[in-house]
Amino acid sequence: MRYKFIDLFAGIGGFHIAFHRAGARCVFASEIDPSARKTYERNFKSISPELFNGGFNEDILKILPGDIPEHDILCAGFPCQPFSQAGYKKGFEEKRQNSGNMFFVLADIIEKRRPKAIFLENVRHLLRHDKGKTFSVIKNTLENDLNYNIYYKIVKASDYGLPQHRPRIYVVGFRKEDTYPETFEFPAPIKLVTTMSDIFGGGHCDKEIGYTLRVGGRGSPIDDRRNYEYYRVNGKVARIGPTEGKKLMGFPDDFVLPEAESSAMKLLGNSVAVNAVEIVAKKIVKYLGLR
């Protein structure tokens, strides 16, 4: 069976790559940022052409949950700004562009469409935001209001093959009415075979695992505590650009990004770590087959 998935808050399509490789088919995607939308369509129109015949939504707030196609797996790297240290830490009270309420938009879709599985990604600080109250609301909503068995874990990109820390919380859920012969477990970490030296094309880098690629704050000197883009390679200072950024995030070499470096790096910094998501995606697809 080829499972159908939807890709919400899709960015440039890290979830799409992961689940496509896992054998699933994307039937709906939503992304509001114009640059990300253009990048998404340019890279996925050839592998998911039917998606762009009315299935690529621009604003998730302007579509009714019942108008979203039926699907087996709901994927969402929902906006992390309201819950991250980089944001205002206002959680559900964040009013800017209603982004603090986006989890409840997801909840409405889940309630209406009842996907077999859900896979949410967010910054790790979501787990302890507001002394744990924010995540408690999310978990309670999914488990008790929506009736899903929930599993979650803080995952580093380096756990699953990419040489950067990038800790993120992964939340996976399955409908309680479906029975499985075993509980879901996240894949065990794998041995890291790609290092920052490989990211820089084989030159010797002074770090095996790199900093978390992020949005904003570029240009801090290499010895500054805020630096996340400069490394010493063969004794010289080297900077992460789009070519290295794609490798660091797990995107294929032929993935097309905007020509402007600042735009490309912003899109990469907002994305998910593809290799990590892919390993979990394959475990989800395999688990669904146990029913």
Count the residues in the chain: 291
Which DSSP state fits 238? E
For residue 80, indicate whether it is catalytic.
Answer: yes
Tokens of 34: 């114009």
Cα–Cα distance, 18 to 275 (Å, whole number): 7
Listed in order, the ranges of the chain carrying CATH 3.40.50.150 are 4-188+273-288
pLDDT per residue rounded down to tens, the chain (291 residues) = 799 999 999 999 999 999 999 999 999 999 999 999 999 999 999 999 999 999 999 999 999 999 999 999 999 998 755 555 444 445 555 443 444 578 889 999 999 999 999 999 999 999 988 888 888 889 999 999 999 999 999 999 999 999 999 999 999 999 999 999 999 999 999 999 999 999 999 889 999 999 999 987 888 999 999 999 999 999 999 999 999 999 999 999 999 999 999 999 999 999 999 999 999 999 999 999 998
Selected catalytic residue, list 26, 75, 80, 205:
80
Alpha helices for 127-241 (secondary structure H)? 133-140, 196-199
| Cα dihedral 64/67/72/76 (nearest 10) | -40
109 C-beta neighbours (distance < 10 Å), count: 25
What pTM was computed for the model? 0.92
Query: Rg of the chain over CA atoms, in angstroms?
Result: 19
Distance (Å, rounded) from C-alpha 98 to C-alpha 167?
Answer: 25
CA nearest to 273, candidates 235, 254, 247, 240: 247
CATH superfamily of 4-188+273-288: Vaccinia Virus protein VP39 (3.40.50.150)
